[in-house]
Structure 1
Amino acid sequence: MGMTREEAILKIKKCLALAKSANENEAAIALRQAQALMREFQIDPDLLDIVEASCETKSTKTPQAWEASLVLTIARAMQCKPIFSSGSSTWGIKASWNFIGVDPAPEVASYTFDVLYRQIIRSRKNFIETTLNRVTVKKNKVRRADLFCEGWVASVKHLITDLDIDVPANTNERIKKYMDTTHGKLGSFTPKDRNKGKTFTERAANDYHAGKQSGKSAKLNQAMNGGKQYEKLGVST
């Protein structure tokens, strides 16, 4: 049975690692093997370490503005390209975010989103059950919970920007090249903002501030190594 493209990529990476060997003969052989495999499988060396990592979201068709803000903050810090994939309740498909970038940045980005997203969902639920427990109109309750989440996201941004991720200087160009060859043209969407155009009242300010205070207790352990228009599947950077 022949080698698959994925197996070839792994083999190429191993060969390129051996090509750095102090043994000149071993290094030369490994480099020739890598080059031969890249020609055989038509693999662009610029895209060898461009990978994707996904994480699920409770959003379905369109994410909320606070969630998109969290994703974009993570993507910028990791120099990744985020793509949103809609879910389908009919087919039992959950919506997800994909981070595309230079290995291992996408995995770190996915981990960061997953950890913080679970925390903000718990905090939002607690805020609704306590502070908003007497709010009877559902749309008002949801809008106020969104303000809380906006404040929460603003509070945790420093946790994300403090992560130390090294990426090559030409990362953006390589990601674009990968996107052009792998995903083609994508659609776009504008994240939902239930508070857009609403007067920022004292109560709204209190909800936002409550979120900022809650966000101060958020934890992000580095357990891994190292109205904007968003693309759909994607986010414009």
Structure 2
Amino acid sequence: MDKQAVLEKIKKCLALSKSANEHEAAQAMKQAQALMKKYEVDAVDIALSEVSEKGGDRKMAFKLAMWQWGVAKMVADIFGCESYKSRKTMMFYGLGNRAEIAAYAFDVVYRQISAARREFLKTCRARKPSNRTYLADQFCNGWMMGAWSVVKAFEMSDDEKAVMADYKGKKYPYMANAVVRDAKSPELDGSAAMIEAIVKGQAAGKKVQLHHAMNGAEGVKQIGERK
């Protein structure tokens, strides 16, 4: 029997150990303890088995701008997950089905901010490509500020935080820091155009709408932008 099958069997026994039938509960607990001893499984292993991972469908560039990382961070915080990038995929991990929900939500929110960025560029007066990228990034930074002002992070319990920390420590002990694409424009830094881009982004970001839907990806199909 592989470890995952063992863990599932132990969890099933532990669930039965909560039965109102005292004899059944005692037998289930005894079986769970025997399995844990036989296969050298401890409570931490059982807790970590509750963590799942899911990647978003969108293919990401190697270097991401701060706002792109910001979208992943915001979605992860809202749905009680952590995020990282594996090659071109933004990954989420969390307890239960949270990762699945977060991955779906990431794709939805990323489409929203990308569409808003394209609309901004249509009216952007800058002609130089580097300046346009800089202002569009500032717009997206503002969008994230606006979005954060209307959403709320999911509050994980101390036990959940401990499980997530143990999971990261065991599975990704050497995770490297992200490489960030930083668009610069000395001529526009601190300018009225930069401030205008941020303000427009904030206004657009406040239209985002997210729900704490924790019952599977079907529950987040309502995620969208308020009209």
Do the two structures share a fold, i.e. TM-score over 0.5?
Answer: yes
Is residue 2:201 matched to residue 1:203? no
Decide which of 92, 95, 98 is 1:99's aligned counterpart.
92
- Distance (Å, rounded) in 2 between the aligned partners of 1:166 and 1:16: 26
Partner of 2:30: 32
- Distance (Å, rounded) in 2 between the aligned partners of 1:185 and 1:31: 37
- Distance (Å, rounded) in 1 between the aligned partners of 2:77 and 2:207: 23
Is residue 2:138 matched to residue 1:157? no
- Distance (Å, rounded) in 1 between the aligned partners of 2:118 and 2:62: 21
Moved more, 19-28 or 75-84: 75-84
Q: Does the aligned pair in 2 maintain the 1:74–1:160 contact within 8 Å? A: no
Q: Which amino acid aligns with 2:112?
A: Q
What is the CA deviation profile of residues 33-86 of structure 1, one whole-angstrom value per residue up to 9, with x for unaligned ones? 333444455442331322223224443212210121232233344443322212
Distance 1:155 1:40, change over 3 A: farther
Q: Which amino acid aligns with 2:10?
A: I
Partner of 2:204: 214
Unaligned runs of 5+ in 2: 217-227
Kindly, what percent of the aligned residue pairs are identical? Answer: 31
TM-aligned CA deviation for residue 223 of structure 1 = 4.3
Distance 1:11 1:167, change over 3 A: farther
- Distance (Å, rounded) in 1 between the aligned partners of 2:160 and 2:114: 32
Report the TM-score, using the length of structure 2 for normalisation.
0.78
Q: Which amino acid aligns with 2:15?
A: A
Q: Secondary structure at the match of 1:188?
A: coil
Decide which of 86, 105, 117 is 1:112's aligned counterpart.
105
Partner of 2:72: 71
Distance 1:223 1:75, change over 3 A: closer
Q: Which amino acid aligns with 2:174?
A: K
Q: Which amino acid aligns with 1:114?
A: D
Report the TM-score, using the length of structure 1 for normalisation.
0.75
- Distance (Å, rounded) in 2 between the aligned partners of 1:195 and 1:9: 51
Q: Secondary structure at the match of 1:51?
A: strand
- Distance (Å, rounded) in 2 between the aligned partners of 1:76 and 1:216: 17
TM-aligned CA deviation for residue 159 of structure 1 = 4.3
Is residue 2:186 matched to residue 1:185? no
Matches within 5 A, 1:81-100: 81-86=82-87, 95-100=88-93
- Distance (Å, rounded) in 2 between the aligned partners of 1:217 and 1:173: 34
What is the CA deviation profile of residues 130-183 of structure 1, one whole-angstrom value per residue up to 9, with x for unaligned ones? 213x6432222211111111111111114441x6x4633133332232223222
- Distance (Å, rounded) in 2 between the aligned partners of 1:159 and 1:57: 25
Q: Which amino acid aligns with 1:131?
A: T
